[in-house]
Chain A
Amino acid sequence: GEDVEQSLFLSVREGDSSVINCTYTDSSSTYLYWYKQEPGAGLQLLTYIFSNMDMKQDQRLTVLLNKKDKHLSLRIADTQTGDSAIYFCAENSGNTPLVFGKGTRLSVIA
């Protein structure tokens, strides 16, 4: 079945850029997503990218999609302590449920 892989931990200094990477296996993915989970809360959609795009920028967030390599990344510029959370990569194709990665725990050091 479809699989989404991401590294489990990332630690960065406040003010630096964070890059969270994700690989997926489903070549028919329509949308790819980044969700953010803060402590004690549910997941919230951070941003998404349509599969025919290779980049999307939204303020401090930049999403890069390499469809050939099935690689998705999320860059957070000027990382703040409030960005500390777990970030989940997810993909879907059509009406099938989203497939989530295990999440990357981002720790921001002041």
Chain B
Amino acid sequence: DAGVIQSPRHEVTEMGQEVTLRCKPISGHNSLFWYRQTMMRGLELLIYFNNNVPIDDSGMPEDRFSAKMPNASFSTLKIQPSEPRDSAVYFCASTLQDPGGTGELFFGEGSRLTVL
């Protein structure tokens, strides 16, 4: 299995530009999570989906952030307009939510965003 695939791995953009981060979860997984990691705040959960439906987006910082999951194999996180304080590493993770399972999350390698 290829694991969780994220793109781009690195993005440098200017303040005010739109940023789109992409994620392909592991095939067969039914839950997908977007996290943001910074030195100051650590790992923050932004939003998660079960069976392509957003369940909890209370971690999304503000209206500039939006996430979609049009099908089971693809999700996007969009920031419009971007600001320097959005600079962080954004992780996508997926899992198979199963009553008998361990709940292990599988993470992608992350997308490092720098907003100048």
List residues of A whose CB falls within 8 A of some B CB. 30-31, 33, 35, 40-45, 48, 88, 92, 95, 97-98, 100-103
Find the A residue at minimum CB distance from B108. Answer: A42
Give the residues from 39 to 55 in chain B that come closer than 8 angstroms, CB to CB, to chain A.
Answer: 41-43, 45, 48
User: Taking the complex as formed, is B86 at the interface, i.e. its CB lies under 8 A from any CB of chain A?
Assistant: no
B103 with A88: CB separation less than 8 A? no
Name which of A35, A40, A44, A98 has the most chain B CB atoms within 10 A of its CB.
A98
Q: In the complex the two chains form, is A43's CB within 8 Å of B107's CB?
A: yes
A-B contact count (CB 8 A): 43
Q: Are A42 and B110 in contact (CB under 8 A)?
A: yes
Looking at the assembled complex, report how far the CB atom of A89 sits from the nearest CB atom of chain B, in whole angstroms: 11
- Tell me if B62 is interfacial: C-beta within 8 Å of chain A: no
Please state if B107 and A42 are interface contacts (CB–CB under 8 Å).
yes
The docked-state distance in angstroms from the alpha carbon of A35 to that of B43 is 12
- The one of B41, B104, B106, B108 in contact with A48, judged by C-beta atoms closer than 8 angstroms, is B104
Residue in B43, B106, B109 whose beta carbon sits within 8 Å of that of A102 in the complex = B43
Minimum CB distance partner of A8 in chain B: B42
